[in-house]
């Protein structure tokens, strides 16, 4: 199991404590890998005490969710990785149910899937969206006409067990063999859409992506249920633009980039006219869309730095009044093109 953490130690400690009580972890047939993306916060005492079946991987920098998953994958020797958000609450028999599903997958005549998403529940027990259709320009336009809580995901009445386009990264099972084939998760995505890209890569190579509601967990704080901060606004738009540039026809990407530039200009003008904060955020979004459309390799930590430069609503009006140079104009934020590394194959035990 891989849990990627960034400043969520409280959630991580609770999740690890729950998982570590499983006989599968205690016996060593399953392992919990906590990958911390340079949180810069004190590690809770329970996690600093050596625990059988639990390992802590401290990364020097925050490279995003994908890079954290890849660090866990490279440290693991298991044929399956169970990826969990820190704010997941599993049931007492969760790992046993996952192991039973793995056993069933591996004995199927058609072979196991590459990616499996499990059912998510809200804290009140209601179903939480966790499956989506691959993005397209027409679908993106349509999503702007419906509530944000329903964007990106398929409606509940369409959720059925079996093959799907993609599953959310909050709780999913992925074959280590698939990760070897695709070179790991794409860490050009800092956060969001990386699971969509992984499922797209899997399907393109003939691996199935499936939804399995026979296993479920509680997901406490999904993004669609939270207010969007200036930082997340920059990151989510970058991820969508990057997905379009990498996986859709050039024409669709260019149209989306122009549309986001127009949106940023209009919203920035509205902020200026109404005297509201947010001007710096929309300037950054417009700059980012223009850079990506021009072919710049802007991704990974460069996106985080840009997003953090606008993550302070109180600074917007002051920066404008003082005429400061925007951080987004610094050419040093353009990250070089990278290729994802592949790991040599090896023999692995059969447990999550």
Query: pLDDT confidence of 310, banded at 50, 70, 90?
Result: confident
In the chain, what percentage of residues exceed pLDDT 70? 85
What is d(CA 214, CA 191) in angstroms, rounded to the nearest whole number? 28
Amino acid 338: pLDDT: 44
pLDDT at position 225: 73
Q: Is 82 helix (H, G, I), strand (E, B) or coil?
A: strand
- Do residues 114 and 207 lie in contact, with contact meaning Cβ atoms separated by under 8 Å? yes
In this predicted model, what pLDDT tens digit does every residue of 86-110 receive, in sequence order? 999 999 999 999 999 999 999 999 9
In terms of DSSP bridges, do strands 209-219 and 162-163 run parallel, antiparallel, or are they unpaired? antiparallel
Q: How far is CA 346 from CA 78, 176, 177, in A?
A: 9, 10, 10
Lowest-pLDDT range of 116-120, 140-144, 176-180, 191-195: 140-144
pLDDT at position 288 over 60: yes
Helix or strand (DSSP H, E) at 275: none
**Sole residue written with tokens 């940023």:** 264
Q: What is the pLDDT of residue 328?
A: 39
DSSP state at residue 240? H
| Strand-pair category, 115-121 with 127-128 | antiparallel
Is the pLDDT at 304 greater than 70? The verdict is yes
For residue 152, pLDDT over 80 is answered with: no
Where do the domains of the chain lie, and which CATH numbers do they carry? 2-225 (3.90.550.10), 230-333 (no CATH)
Cβ–Cβ < 8 Å for 31, 76: yes
Give the tens place of pLDDT for each residue, 197-210.
Answer: 999 999 999 999 99
CA-based torsion, 127, 131, 133, 138: positive or negative: positive
> Are the CB atoms for 57 and 34 separated by under 8 Å?
yes
What are the DSSP E strand ranges found in 8-129?
Answer: 32-37, 54-59, 80-84, 88-89, 115-121, 127-128
- Of all residues in the chain, the percent with pLDDT exceeding 90 is 69
Give the tens place of pLDDT for each residue, 229-266: 888 899 999 999 999 999 999 999 999 999 999 999 99
For residue 303, how far is the Cα from the chain centroid? 14
Contact 219, 122 (CB under 8 A): yes
- DSSP strand pairing (2-5 vs 32-37): parallel
Q: Is the pLDDT of residue 146 over 90?
A: no
- How far is it, in rounded angstroms, from Cα 240 to Cα 245? 9
Mean residue pLDDT across the chain? 86
Q: For every residue of 150-203, which 3-state class applies, written as one string? A: HCCCCCHHHCCCEECCEECCCEEEEEHHHHHHHCCCCCCCCCCCHHHHHHHHHH
Number of residues that make up the chain: 352
- Which strand (E) or helix (H) includes residue 212? strand 209-219
């Amino acid at each position: 199991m891989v849990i990627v953490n960034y400043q969520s130690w409280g959630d991580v400690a609770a999740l690890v404590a729950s998982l570590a009580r499983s006989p599968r972890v205690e016996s060593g047939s399953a392992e919990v890998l906590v990958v911390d993306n340079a949180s810069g916060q004190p590690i809770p005492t329970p996690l600093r005490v050596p625990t059988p079946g639990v390992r802590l991987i401290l990364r020097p920098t925050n490279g995003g969710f994908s890079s954290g998953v890849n660090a866990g994958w490279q440290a693991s020797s298991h044929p399956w990785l169970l990826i969990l958000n820190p704010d997941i609450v599993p049931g007492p028999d969760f790992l046993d149910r996952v192991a039973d599903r793995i056993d069933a997958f591996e004995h199927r005549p058609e072979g196991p899937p590459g990616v499996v998403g499990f059912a998510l529940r809200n804290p009140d027990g209601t179903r939480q969206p966790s499956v989506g259709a691959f993005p397209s320009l027409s679908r993106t336009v349509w999503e702007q006409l419906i509530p944000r809580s329903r964007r990106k995901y398929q409606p509940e009445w369409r959720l059925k067990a079996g093959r799907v386009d993609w599953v959310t990264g909050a709780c999913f099972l992925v074959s280590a063999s698939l990760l070897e084939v695709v070179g790991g998760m794409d860490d050009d995505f800092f956060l969001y859409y990386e699971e969509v890209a992984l499922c797209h890569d899997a399907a393109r190579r003939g691996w199935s992506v499936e939804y399995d509601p026979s296993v479920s967990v509680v997901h406490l704080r999904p993004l669609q249920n939270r207010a969007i901060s200036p930082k997340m606004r920059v990151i989510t738009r970058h991820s969508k633009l990057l997905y379009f540039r990498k996986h859709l026809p050039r024409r669709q990407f260019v149209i989306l980039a122009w549309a986001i530039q127009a949106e940023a200009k209009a919203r920035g003008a509205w902020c200026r006219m109404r005297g509201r904060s947010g001007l710096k955020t929309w300037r950054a979004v417009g700059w980012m869309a223009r850079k990506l459309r021009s072919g710049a390799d802007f991704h990974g930590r460069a996106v985080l730095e840009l997003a953090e430069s606008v993550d302070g609503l109180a600074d917007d009006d002051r920066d404008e009044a003082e005429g400061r140079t925007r951080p987004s104009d610094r050419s040093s934020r353009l990250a070089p093109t990278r290729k994802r590394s592949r790991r040599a194959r090896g023999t692995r035990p059969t447990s999550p």
